[in-house]
Structure 1
Amino acid sequence: MVGLVNKSLLLDSSPVGPNGAAFIGPNVAYKQNKWTTIFSCLQFVNMNTTISEKLNSQANNDNGGSELCAVCATGVISNGSVTLAILWILAKKNANGIDTCLVLNLLIADWLQSMGFIMSLYWVAINEITPGLYCNIQGVIMSIGGMGSVSWVTLITIYTFLVVVYSKQPKKYYAILSIPIVWLTAIFLSLTYLLVQKPEKPFFATVGGNSTFCWIADEYDRSWVYIIYMSILLSSIALIIILHGIMFCFIYRYSTRAMFRRTAVKLILYSVCYVMLTLPLCSYLLSGHFGLPTPYPL
């Protein structure tokens, strides 16, 4: 993880860049993205597990209890893993750089979303999902965590791009400034959902009558929500693919070391991993939005 990489590694004896600047070793970028990939994709694994469990539940004609338990279990695993990662980073002596700041905020976003899945334990206990304050809290938390995670992954990609291609790190105050901007935006957009809520029709409720967590109720038009959420997610995926592709080409062009070229290949795996874990969810949501047939109704 880049937050754990010693600053001396950032300026090594690497080849010279296009403008005569020191070429920053791609190992730095790879170490950052290797761990970021693992932790940032946990919440998408949770969501994809939800979809797959729904399909299995429908095939087996059960009452939905098994899928709720599966979602809660993956939420607990994800939450525990992210919590350990946060504590591990905070325990490090050099955990005060820009990179660490970005990764920590990403982990906090993942932690929030995993907590949203863990909240489904309450639905397991009462054997039903009922609209109300608890349901609203779960929906808002998962929305904040989801948008926050996508935003921080994107910022980490931009940071890595600047380090690798331009051989410089952004000013620390940019990272500090990004913290309130990202979180306040995610909170504002998530709470905005409740502003359109009608007294007799809760905004967050079960979806399709057999859901594993609270999300936008069937009575509401989800178009504008998908436009906001999906535009952020799809833009993030596109930017990650483009910037990592540029970094891959840059490393191959300005480095003759076999080690660096191997690292470039590993670096591109970050994009592949992230996209493979997010595209199923994107395609599932978009298919339901545009009226295309889906294995399970949204």
Structure 2
Amino acid sequence: MDDVTEFNLRGTIAILITSTISNLAVFVVFLCIISQNHSSLHTVVTRLVLNLFLSDFIQSIGFMLSYNWAIKGIIEPGIYCDIQGFLINLGDVASGFWAFVICVHTYMRVVHSYEYPHIVFLSMITIWPFNILISALGFAIQLGTDGKRFYGSAGGSWCWIDKYYQEYRIGFHYGIILFNAAAMSVIYTIMFVILYKRQTMATRGSKRVLQRVNKKLVWYPAVYIVLVFPLALQRIVGLAFQNSNIWSSFYLIPAASIFTSAGLANAIIYSITRNLVSVKPVISMVPKIRRSITTASSPTTYFINTRNSFFTSESITTDMEPMSITSATKSMRISYIEHSTIYECDDDSRYSSAVTPPSPIHSTDPLNNHNRNYYNSSDTISPV
């Protein structure tokens, strides 16, 4: 076995490892998404991400079919090779399209605070039929070329569009993914400029949110370009010089291994930025927390909460609603304060207030203690 053949076998194993890991990562994240509550599954973001993961899953399945070539030690043109080439091209191109749609959706949400409700439906009826068409069109194209198979060996490790159909490699694959990468870069550049201008005029709290959005969004175009660019660059340079092996397999296999890790990269990105467009619930919690802290620092509220927690801990039930209990306790507290003032001013109106001062006598029954402290059989309860 010569060095090139041995390297191709090792390269096939490397591609199988990355594609298998990507497949498992996508599968795990996919299960995490569908296991969420029913309402979250119907959000636009979740549906877009599910379509992206479906594309990555198809791509990884296509590359995992190379297990057959690793066992046989040779790539044989035929139906099995056609299926692998079809799946790889379908997954690659669809993944780029869905990444672009997510980019557009993120731009609309972050910059314009607008969410188009039908973006998922329109994208699905456009992207999937288009990608299936261009991937299956090769079977019709090969009929007009004396039976030369459209899908064949690509790099000696997997099946894809045969080198005989160089122009279709650009039209059906490289041209599309490079267009998506360029469009994403332009959109994100515009978005970053707008966010930067807003950041200079924003408050301190808003700046933190904008900085957080900036740091998270930058990974989408960066990761996509890093994964796609090495392999696409090798193919395009090869086409320009009419030599598909201009950089040899020593560059092609690592570039392909990076490219097949798209599923793993997208799974990691989703795990980090899944709450990117849901910062409002977090921000809305801040005033609630402040109100809770302010309320807890109030003496009257502390007294009410203490009395209510005391009765709750002793498992005592009443027919009154919780709000009624709070109101009654608050009224008794206010009446007791008023009683001290009236007692000092007028002895005849000593018991005209709602309750008497607390009695030092206590019993083992918390409810009796409460009644003995605040009520007396001879007292008259009057409105506060």
Q: TM-score range by the shorter chain?
A: 0.7 to 0.9
Query: Which of 192, 214, 239 is the matching residue for 2:183?
Result: 239
Q: Which residue of 2 aligns with 1:192?
A: 137
Q: Which residue of 1 aligns with 2:64?
A: 118
Find the aligned partners of 2:197 and 2:58 in 1 and give their Cα distance. Answer: 40
DSSP-derived class of the 2:41 partner: coil
Query: Which structure 1 residue ranges, 4+ long, deviate > 4 Å from structure 2?
Result: none
Q: Which residue of 2 aligns with 1:251?
A: 195
Larger Rg, first or second structure (1 or 2)? 2
Query: Which of 215, 220, 239 is the matching residue for 1:270?
Result: 220
What amino acid is aligned across from residue 158 of structure 1 in structure 2?
Answer: V
How many residues get paired? 236
Q: Which residue of 1 aligns with 2:42?
A: 96
Quote how far apart the aligned CAs of 1:201 are. 2.5
Q: Which residue of 2 aligns with 1:291?
A: 241
Whether 1:183 and 2:128 are equivalent positions in the alignment is yes
Quote how far apart the aligned CAs of 1:285 are. 1.1
Quote how far apart the aligned CAs of 1:242 are. 1.2
Q: Which residue of 2 aligns with 1:174?
A: 119
Query: Which of 137, 144, 150 is the matching residue for 1:203?
Result: 150
What amino acid is aligned across from residue 231 of structure 2 in structure 1?
Answer: L
Find the aligned partners of 1:296 and 1:63 in 2 and give their Cα distance. Answer: 11
Q: Verify the 8 A CA contact 1:140 1:191 in the aligned structure 2.
A: yes
What amino acid is aligned across from residue 296 of structure 1 in structure 2?
Answer: S
What amino acid is aligned across from residue 72 of structure 1 in structure 2?
Answer: L
TM-align CA RMSD: 2.0
Quote how far apart the aligned CAs of 1:222 are. 1.2
Whether 1:132 and 2:78 are equivalent positions in the alignment is yes
Q: Which residue of 2 aligns with 1:80?
A: 24
Q: Verify the 8 A CA contact 1:251 1:260 in the aligned structure 2.
A: no
Q: Verify the 8 A CA contact 2:135 2:172 in the aligned structure 1.
A: no
Q: Verify the 8 A CA contact 1:204 1:217 in the aligned structure 2.
A: yes
Q: Which residue of 2 aligns with 1:19?
A: none
- Calculate the TM-score normalised by the size of structure 2: 0.58
Report Cα offsets for 1:1-32 as digits up to 9, x if no partner. Answer: xxxxxxxxxxxxxxxxxxxxxxxxxxxxxxxx
Query: Which of 256, 260, 264 is the matching residue for 2:209?
Result: 260
What amino acid is aligned across from residue 96 of structure 2 in structure 1?
Answer: V
DSSP-derived class of the 1:211 partner: coil
DSSP-derived class of the 2:248 partner: coil
Report Cα offsets for 1:45-94 as digits up to 9, x if no partner. Answer: xxxxxxxxxxxx64xx7263211111111111110000111111011111
Q: Which residue of 2 aligns with 1:35?
A: none
- Calculate the TM-score normalised by the size of structure 1: 0.74
Quote how far apart the aligned CAs of 1:227 are. 2.8
Whether 1:214 and 2:159 are equivalent positions in the alignment is yes
What amino acid is aligned across from residue 260 of structure 1 in structure 2?
Answer: V
Q: Verify the 8 A CA contact 1:110 1:149 in the aligned structure 2.
A: yes
DSSP-derived class of the 2:156 partner: coil
The percent identity for this pair of structures is 28
Report Cα offsets for 1:186-229 as digits up to 9, x if no partner. Answer: 0000001111214642221223xx610012223x2311331342
Distance 1:63 1:250, change over 3 A: closer
Q: Verify the 8 A CA contact 2:150 2:165 in the aligned structure 1.
A: no
Quote how far apart the aligned CAs of 1:272 are. 2.3
Find the aligned partners of 1:137 and 1:269 in 2 and give their Cα distance. Answer: 32
Find the aligned partners of 1:215 and 1:139 in 2 and give their Cα distance. Answer: 4
Q: Verify the 8 A CA contact 1:245 1:268 in the aligned structure 2.
A: no
What amino acid is aligned across from residue 201 of structure 1 in structure 2?
Answer: K
Q: Verify the 8 A CA contact 2:19 2:63 in the aligned structure 1.
A: yes
What amino acid is aligned across from residue 120 of structure 1 in structure 2?
Answer: S
Quote how far apart the aligned CAs of 1:292 are. 6.6
What amino acid is aligned across from residue 59 of structure 2 in structure 1?
Answer: Q
Q: Which residue of 2 aligns with 1:159?
A: 105
Find the aligned partners of 1:152 and 1:212 in 2 and give their Cα distance. Answer: 27
What amino acid is aligned across from residue 212 of structure 1 in structure 2?
Answer: S
Quote how far apart the aligned CAs of 1:158 are. 0.4
Report Cα offsets for 1:154-206 as digits up to 9, x if no partner. Answer: 000000011011111002x3311221211110000000111121464222122
Distance 1:155 1:265, change over 3 A: same
Find the aligned partners of 1:279 and 1:63 in 2 and give their Cα distance. Answer: 22
Distance 1:117 1:251, change over 3 A: same
What amino acid is aligned across from residue 148 of structure 2 in structure 1?
Answer: K
Q: Verify the 8 A CA contact 1:148 1:186 in the aligned structure 2.
A: yes
Find the aligned partners of 1:126 and 1:276 in 2 and give their Cα distance. Answer: 32
Report Cα offsets for 1:274-298 as digits up to 9, x if no partner. Answer: 2222221221110011117722178
DSSP-derived class of the 2:247 partner: coil
